[in-house]
Structure 1
Amino acid sequence: MGEHLSSGTGLQIAEWVFFMLLALILLALIAVTVRRFVLERGGGAVECYLRPGAGGRRPWRIGCGRYGTEELRWYRIFSLWPRPTAELSRRGLVVMGRRAPAGDDLRELTGDLIVVEVGWLAADGSDPKEPVYELAMSEGALTGFLSWLESMPPGTHWPS
């Protein structure tokens, strides 16, 4: 009734499937590498970890932050998505605290990083009560982040 595949034909099909999957994995790795190169080539980029909220409830995600005039755009390292995962607006952004990684943080971070808690000023100008994000970065990257946060390019006017 039906035609039977010989064992040689089944092996050939398995080989083709294996090589196609291998080619797809290789293409994905090349695409992630090219994306990272493009993100970092223009300058103003720094490797940092990001975690929404505070308190260690969510895992740290490694990424690349690119400084812009009005925001820090954060991209996941292992992603093909062209848009940033998070955008931290510079306007009203304040550093609420900094600390060394401790406890559960050390499962995902190294001890030489610094964790910075950030949030935005409330509409009435008061300090935030809870951090919106935590960033973990090296000492040099933190110096660059604080400089970016405190400076503003000449001629830039924030919209009211």
Structure 2
Amino acid sequence: MHDGWLLLLDVLGVLLVLVLIAGVWLVVRRRVIARDGGTFELSHRSRVDRDGRGWVLGVGRYSGERLEWFRFFSLSPRPHRIWLRDDVDFVGRRDRVGAEDVSLYDDHVVVRCGSADGEVEFAMSESSLMGLQAWLEAGPPRADWDSRPVR
């Protein structure tokens, strides 16, 4: 019976160490993601089949022509989603619906954007929204060079 308790304590000790390692990794990962600056709290709506549901908390980062999105609770150092500046258009804002009041941060607004993959919804602070709009407008003017006549 005494050996059973020692085994249980060993298992609990290993689990505690694993949880601590995962917690430290989440902090280190967030620092690595933010080391180049340009990061902000950005929630992404991954499921749009039900009103107000499907939100995943995360961190956004501008990296040149790309908006990279990292899940908040993930051990992966790579972005989970990437949107290219040329493929994203600001559509507008909308009011929160249903469960969004509790699943999103209090100061975040819901933003609708068009993308190459269809409509995308983000939740971010007002200042992050201004940053997104500035980033989108700062891109080079779009031109369809293939449709110009050759002289």
The reply to whether TM is greater than 0.5 is yes
The 1-side partners of 2:42 and 2:83 are apart by 13
Show the counterpart of 1:39.
33
20, 25, 36: which is aligned to 1:26?
Answer: 20
Which residues of structure 1 form unaligned runs of 5+? 1-6, 122-127, 154-158
1:72 aligns with 2:67: yes
Tell me: CA distance 1:23–1:17, structure 2 relative to 1, closer, same or farther (3 Å). Answer: same
Letter of the 1:147 counterpart: A
Which secondary structure does the structure 1 equivalent of 2:57 belong to?
A: strand
The 2-side partners of 1:100 and 1:113 are apart by 10
The TM-score normalised by the length of structure 2 is: 0.83
* Greater mean alpha carbon deviation, residues 73-82 or residues 47-56: 47-56
1:149 aligns with 2:136: yes
Higher Rg of the two aligned structures:
1
The answer to whether the 8 A contact 2:93-2:109 is kept is yes
Q: Calculate percent identity across the aligned residue pairs.
A: 38
The answer to whether the 8 A contact 1:48-1:65 is kept is yes
4, 11, 17: which is aligned to 2:5?
Answer: 11
1:99 aligns with 2:86: no
The answer to whether the 8 A contact 1:101-1:115 is kept is yes
Provide the aligned C-alpha RMSD in A. 2.5
Give the C-alpha shift of residue 57 in structure 1: 6.6
Equivalences, count: 143
Show the counterpart of 1:3.
none
Give the C-alpha shift of residue 52 in structure 1: 3.2
- After TM superposition, the runs of 4+ consecutive aligned structure 1 residues lying more than 4 A away are none
Letter of the 1:135 counterpart: F
The TM-score normalised by the length of structure 1 is: 0.79
* Greater mean alpha carbon deviation, residues 67-76 or residues 88-97: 88-97
Give the C-alpha shift of residue 58 in structure 1: 4.4
